[in-house]
Structure 1
Amino acid sequence: MITLRSEKHQKKKKRRWTSILLVFLLLIGGVAGYAYYQFKQGVNQSLKKINKDQKESKVVYTFEGKKDQYGDTNILLLGSDARGKEKARADTIMIAHYNEDKGTFKLTSIMRDSYVEIPDHGKHKINSAFARGGPELMRQTIKQNFDIDLQYYAIVDFQGFVQLIDEAFPNGVEIDVEKKMEKNIYMTLEPGLQRLNGTQMLGYVRFRHDAMGDFGRVERQQKAVKAIRDQLSGFQTITKLPKLVGVVAPYVNTNMKTSDMIFMAKDFFSDKRGNVETLRIPVENSFTEPRIEGEGAVLDIDVEKNKEALHQFITK
């Protein structure tokens, strides 16, 4: 009798766990299906705004990347408005440092006029490495000068930035515009705390025609990344991520898988990860600003000092 009851109990327990597992698998399948549907919605939404030439202009790049010596993932972020044309110079150069164990990000901006050795090409402004050999030569240049490996690259068309902002922030991103800006950004931004749409945000992060020049622009770019991250953080954002990634995907040339992009974005927008730390290269008191024939004004940097600063930033 005891054995019979025990067998019935075991069978009942087994059926219960089988039911729980089935429900769990159905939930996982439902979430995956919803995420894929949202991603495709975002992709289709952007494709309607891209002409045929833009759709066919993506260049297929080789990129021999790997994790760095500290086990972290570094993503080379290149901003361009050339829509995939290989000879374009990189207007914005950033490295996103991702620590998978902690789920944290740090951000380094490399000023485009930094005068460095480009492998097999001699000394030039670092942004010309992209025009000379795409993201792979940029990877080699950063490795040679700063001894850091990059695993992924993402070349972002600036129109993708505009579409992302407008999708994520229907009412605009709240940001404090520190001064009046209008030269060469095809609009006028008045000073003060306000909400900027995608086109206005692009003007804000690209403005450089003042006394601060590129230094001010890099500072605004980092300020904008922090504002976007802070105002998108939280659970509600996590549910929007597949569509947001879909919206920007047609404007991005990258070697990252969509699933990896969503996974990292989840950590980036988590509201429990603290602030995103930033660094600018060259660091203070580590460069001069001579004029070089054929190059114009450059930032002639102390490579060793900047390499040390970058590694300290990553590992602290």
Structure 2
Amino acid sequence: MEEQDYTRRSQRPKKRRLRKGRVLFTLLLLCVIVGVGYAVTQYQNGLELASDTKVAQEDFSGDTVKGDIENYLLLGIDTRGEEKSRTDTMMVLSWNKKTNDVKLVSFMRDIYADIPGYQSYKLNTAYYLGGVQLLKDTIGNMFGLPIHHYAIVDFKNFESLVDILAPNGVKIDVEKDMSEKIGVSLKQGEQNLNGKELLGYARFRHDAEGDFGRVARQQKVIEALKNEILAPQNIVNLPKFVGAAQGYITTDLSSKEEAQQVLKMVSKGKVNIEKATIPIEGSFSYKYFSHAGDSIVIDVEKNKEFLRKFLGISLE
């Protein structure tokens, strides 16, 4: 009899542990359900915010991906309600899917370029004349650089995306006071910039550095935004940000493909971005053309050789 009592008593802690396990599992399941519900709701809110995007989908024929590297043509435009616009920002983001290395190449908008089917103009005129496909063909013809995908964001949409991702602002060290023709007034020093201020910072060019300084700031902004996306404190903002990006950013990728690419990149750990600008130092001169204005005439072969080494790919 005593042995039976002992056996029953020895089983009681086990039952308690089982009950605690069920409670913990239930709580965990509830947290997952709440988390998923929150993410879905915020994603839908983001989609609704971006339902009236101004940048229309364009016909685009990307190059075939060969190997581990994919190149994305990133464009920033200022529509201002106009049917056609020039590109203020032209970058190629090159992602090595095997090593997770990311390289960012900015192309100066005033590069004097041979535009297929047209007279030579500044590079940013290609988008005005024939959209993203003509700009892609122009860069491809000049440098032999394969471009597999594209993404376009209008500047007003950029402001909205920044405010969704980082409601408390993006930390930037502003090098000098800035205000001329950027719609905001910025003071020198480290500060958190909202979407409108960050865009103004990226667009400022009225100093001795001109467009070269602006391109450097644009690259600095891309780096800062990358850090915001990966920052733990912004995890709660990501579902709404991703939803808004579906409308605010125009791309040839489907929503599913966009999500997959971002998840692949982030899941592989820390993302470091190497940056470069075309033309490289010592490979260009300035020249005035009556039909194009002040332009940058570049040594194409010297810049092509740099791209070959920097990106680690063969160019046609």
> Which interval holds the TM-score relative to the shorter structure?
0.7 to 0.9
In structure 2, the CA distance between the partners of 1:63 and 1:284, relative to structure 1 (3 Å rule), is same
Tell me by how many angstroms 1:312 deviates.
1.1
More off after superposition, 63-72 vs 306-315: 63-72
- Contact kept in structure 1, 2:78 and 2:86, CA below 8 Å: no
Indicate yes or no: 2:39 matched with 1:42: no
Indicate yes or no: 2:136 matched with 1:139: yes
Give the aligned partner of residue 102 of structure 1: 99
- Contact kept in structure 2, 1:61 and 1:134, CA below 8 Å: yes
What is the TM-score when the length of structure 1 is the normalising length? 0.81
Give the aligned partner of residue 310 of structure 1: 307
- Tell me, in whole angstroms, the C-alpha distance in 2 between the residues paired with 1:149 and 1:36: 36
Tell me by how many angstroms 1:59 deviates.
3.2
Tell me by how many angstroms 1:66 deviates.
2.4
Deviations 1:154-201 (A, max 9, x none): 110111211111111121111100001010012210000111111100
- Contact kept in structure 1, 2:55 and 2:154, CA below 8 Å: no
Structure 2 letter corresponding to 1:94: M
- Tell me, in whole angstroms, the C-alpha distance in 2 between the residues paired with 1:68 and 1:311: 16
- Tell me, in whole angstroms, the C-alpha distance in 2 between the residues paired with 1:202 and 1:81: 11
Structure 1 letter corresponding to 2:305: E
1:257-268 superposed matches below 5 A: 257-268=254-265
In structure 2, the CA distance between the partners of 1:271 and 1:64, relative to structure 1 (3 Å rule), is closer
SS at match of 1:249: helix
Give the aligned partner of residue 165 of structure 2: 168
Give the aligned partner of residue 87 of structure 2: 90
Q: Paired residue for 1:248, among 231, 245, 248?
A: 245
Give the aligned partner of residue 4 of structure 2: none
- Consecutive unaligned residues of structure 1, counting only runs of 5 or more, are 1-25
Tell me by how many angstroms 1:83 deviates.
6.2
Tell me by how many angstroms 1:249 deviates.
2.6
Structure 1 letter corresponding to 2:75: L
1:193-208 superposed matches below 5 A: 193-208=190-205
Deviations 1:94-121 (A, max 9, x none): 1111222233321111010011111121
More off after superposition, 269-278 vs 201-210: 269-278
What is the TM-score when the length of structure 2 is the normalising length? 0.81
Identical columns (%):
41
Structure 2 letter corresponding to 1:115: Y
Structure 1 letter corresponding to 2:45: Q
Give the aligned partner of residue 124 of structure 1: 121
Aligned residues: 283
More off after superposition, 135-144 vs 34-43: 34-43
Give the aligned partner of residue 81 of structure 1: 78
